[in-house]
């Protein structure tokens, strides 16, 4: 199997990479509270492990390489809970712009922002366009739940409100790294939203919530639904979904 981690190559090896179609992936994690039952590096574990498992599915001739993960990002919606660390929007924008400039200076032409933290999505969309305009790089943004339809039957309330440390994330972690889950502290909590047609995410009408506005323990969703089997079923859809999307980046052309 070929080396996919740029950090494990020498300078001449990086120089020799076929960059015209090749994609460089910046994995973006987070360090933030995930309720009483999951560790604060949950999104970082996902960004690392899902990516490495997807890269392992790619044929050797598909030119995709990854950078080390950015461990802290824009998590200030979880401000006030122990274990949450964050970069401001201005700082994260500047960090990604600088990494993109470095990628361009290294000769890369395609950059993938592989992000496993929902709170980064709006910012990354905007930064991606700035990177494209300033550097000419082709920029792609991937977020796990959008890569493959959820193959697991999920109650409607969980599907709309289970956005943080609920069934989806807890199941995935039980499948990937069960030592990160405190099975004796599994939490179920659904926020009571104001009586107006607004959602937390994924729809056209949302609002700028902070977790402490809505969830005393930091959980949104029912982690007691989670099992390793549900996680495995989701991984079986997500990993090929990510591999397919990465392959598509290397073939993309206007
Ligand atoms: Zn998370």
Spans of all domains in the chain: 6-251
Q: Which CATH number fits domain 6-251: 3.40.1670.10, 3.40.190.80, 3.90.1150.10, 3.40.50.10310?
A: 3.40.50.10310
Report the separation in Å between the CA atom of 10 and the middle of ligand 1, taken as the mean of its atom positions. 33
In tens digits, what is the pLDDT along the chain, a chain of 254 residues? 799 999 999 999 999 999 999 999 999 999 999 999 999 999 999 999 999 999 999 999 999 999 999 999 999 999 999 999 999 999 999 999 999 999 999 999 999 999 999 999 999 999 999 999 999 999 999 999 889 999 999 999 999 889 999 999 999 999 999 999 999 999 999 988 776 656 666 566 677 889 999 999 999 999 999 999 999 999 999 999 999 999 999 999 88
Report the separation in Å between the CA atom of 133 and the middle of ligand 1, taken as the mean of its atom positions. 30
Report the separation in Å between the CA atom of 96 and the middle of ligand 1, taken as the mean of its atom positions. 20
Report the separation in Å between the CA atom of 103 and the middle of ligand 1, taken as the mean of its atom positions. 27
Tell me the DSSP string of the chain.
Answer: ----BGGGS-HHHHHTS-TTT-EEEEEE--B--BTTTB-TTHHHHHHHHHHHHHHTTS-TTS-EEEPPPB-----GGGTTSTT-B---HHHHHHHHHHHHHHHHHTT--EEEEEE--GGGHHHHHHHHHHHHHHH--EEEEE-GGGTS---S---HHHHHH--BSSHHHHHHHHHH-GGGB-GGG--EE-----SSS-BSSSSS-B----HHHH-TTS-BEEGGG--HHHHHHHHHHHHHHHHHHHHHHHH---
Report the separation in Å between the CA atom of 134 and the middle of ligand 1, taken as the mean of its atom positions. 31
């Amino acid at each position: 199997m070929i080396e996919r981690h740029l950090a494990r190559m020498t300078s001449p090896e990086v120089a020799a990479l076929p960059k015209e179609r090749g994609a460089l992936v910046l994995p973006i994690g987070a360090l933030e509270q995930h309720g009483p039952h999951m560790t604060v590096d949950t999104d970082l574990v996902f960004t690392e492990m899902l990516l490495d498992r997807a890269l392992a599915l790619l044929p050797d001739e598909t030119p995709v390489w990854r950078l080390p993960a950015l461990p802290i990002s824009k998590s200030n919606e979880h401000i006030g809970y122990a274990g949450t660390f964050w970069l401001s929007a201005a700082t994260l924008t500047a960090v990604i712009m600088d990494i993109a400039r470095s990628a361009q200076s290294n000769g890369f032409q395609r950059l993938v922002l592989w992000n496993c933290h929902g709170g980064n999505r709006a910012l990354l969309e905007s930064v991606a366009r700035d990177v494209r305009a300033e550097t000419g790089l082709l920029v792609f943004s991937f977020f796990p739940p959008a890569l493959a339809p959820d193959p697991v039957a999920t109650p409607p309330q969980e599907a709309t409100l289970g956005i943080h440390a609920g069934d989806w994330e807890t199941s995935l972690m039980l499948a990937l790294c069960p030592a990160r889950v405190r099975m004796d502290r599994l939490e179920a909590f659904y926020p009571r939203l104001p009586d107006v047609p607004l959602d937390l995410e994924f729809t056209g009408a949302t609002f700028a919530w902070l977790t402490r506005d809505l969830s005393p323990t930091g959980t949104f969703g029912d982690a007691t639904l989670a099992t390793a089997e549900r996680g495995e079923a989701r991984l079986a859809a997500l990993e090929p979904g990510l591999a397919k999307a990465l392959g598509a980046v290397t073939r993309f052309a206007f």
